[in-house]
Amino acid sequence: MLTNEELPSITSTIKDSSAHPLLRQATIMLLCTLMVSLKMNPILRRLLPLYIAAFFQGIPFWYAIEKLFMVDIGFTTASIGLMVAIMSVAMLAVETPSGILADRWSRKGVMIVGSVSLLLSGAIGALSHTVFIFIVSTVFWGIYSALYSGTYDSAMYDTVMEEHGSSKKFARYLGQLRAIEGAAFVLGALGGGVIASVFGMRDAFFLSLPLILLSIFFLFRFREPQLHKAGVAEPVFKHIRQTFAAVLRRPILLPMIVAIVGFSVLLDVIFELSQLWFMAVDAPLVLYGIFSAVVFSSWSIGGVLVPKLKSRMALGTVFATITIAIVGLIVMRNHWVILGAEFLLAVCLVALGILLANRLHDELPSRLRTGSSSVVSTLARLVLIPCSLLFTALASSYSIFSSTYLLLFIAVLAMCAFIFSQYKRQTIPV
């Protein structure tokens, strides 16, 4: 675990590194802010390595120009949809087994393997000149995402439980993590746009690799909670059955799962395919870094918004914003208006995702928490595969604007499920 004495030396090392000056200053500011907080908050000191690792995992510069790079090496709108589907299949194959492995072995170990997968994804992407090779790189990214999803949340939840004895502050710390991820996404997007314009799109991949290596270092520094290991001595197949049963055999969770899956699919489409709307209106290349930075900043804003979602009026406002934003993506043809709609939609989806993650973890035992969360993520991937194929097929046959009606349908279904889950929580004793 990092200590107050180690942080100044780490800050000095980053200051003397050869990284981009903007990145060095942003990282030093992040560490200095956390150094002040560490003296007042022991749990933040313990979570600091996770926060910094997530920051470096979220900064890859190629995210901002990925779709443009794909088109440059031969992708079409339909083959982009196929890529998303193949990547989702890779996630399906890894997600639930990795969650069960994290519960039985080590969540920190699984997160480190995830960072190695992200490193391989960036390296292969940098060297790819064909559609097939780039799809291989996205398969490794899918593995990283599967290992990431649910594992960070569960590790943080159990850390909060060990330190505080309750989960009341979990949403606060998860919101902080999302804010840090959002800051990393913004810096990465701005840096990626500059790198692509000044040097080239391929350099955005190469320059991301040292930062991903730093995330592995900080994950090694994380002191993993042991709460989840208290009750996993039973045979592995029994553990697997219990993991699926914890999610699928509890009536109170079913509408919540439908809402989580629906909102997750919408968020994945926005983050994976947001550039397609800008390409459809011929937005200038120089603006893509700004576009990505604004969309990615929704992680930070959404994390801050979560504590405000305590009333029916607040939730109603969020639902109305989601509906208006999707309608805006259907009817608007100005790239700045499209950017605003994507930003508002993503902010609302991130906030709802954190809120629902907190409620889901409250309903799950620690020894099954990561595996059960991975089951829910797997269900989201199962839905995302046909949705992404249908969405891009409609975009190819008609337009990206016409295909957005599919997102409106998913949003309405997810919002109805969320409302019903609220009713179930109030009427079914836990």
Instruction: Give the pLDDT confidence score for residue 32 in this predicted structure.
Output: 61
Under a CB-based contact definition with an 8 Å cutoff, are residues 167 and 157 in contact?
yes
Question: What six digits make up the tokens of 81?
Answer: 């949809």
* Choices 1.10.101.10, 1.20.1250.20, 3.10.129.10, 3.40.50.12780: CATH for 41-223+236-427: 1.20.1250.20
- pLDDT score at 429: 42
Single-letter amino acid, residue 6: E
Confidence at 428, pLDDT banded by 50, 70, 90 = very low
Helix locations, 149-253, DSSP H: 151-164, 170-198, 201-206, 209-221, 236-248
pLDDT for position 232 = 47
User: Is a pLDDT exceeding 90 seen at residue 40?
Assistant: no
Mean pLDDT of 143-154: 82
C-alpha torsion angle, residues 65, 66, 72, 75 (rounded to 10): -150
Candidate from 2-16, 206-220, 396-410 with smallest mean pLDDT: 2-16
- What are the tens digits of pLDDT across the range 193-215? 888 888 889 999 999 999 999 99
Region 327-342: what's the mean pLDDT?
A: 94
Q: 416 vs 121, 138, 321, 410, 422, CA distance in Å?
A: 37, 33, 15, 10, 10
> What is the pLDDT averaged over residues 361-389?
72
Closest CA to 382 of 374, 393, 392: 374
Confidence (pLDDT) at 310:
76
Which residue reads 């590194």 in tokens? 17
The domains of the chain are located at 41-223+236-427
Residue 153 pLDDT grade (very low, low, confident, very high; cuts 50, 70, 90):
confident
> Which tens digit of pLDDT belongs to each residue from 239-253?
555 555 555 566 677
Choose from 17-21, 29-33, 395-399 the range with maximum mean pLDDT: 395-399
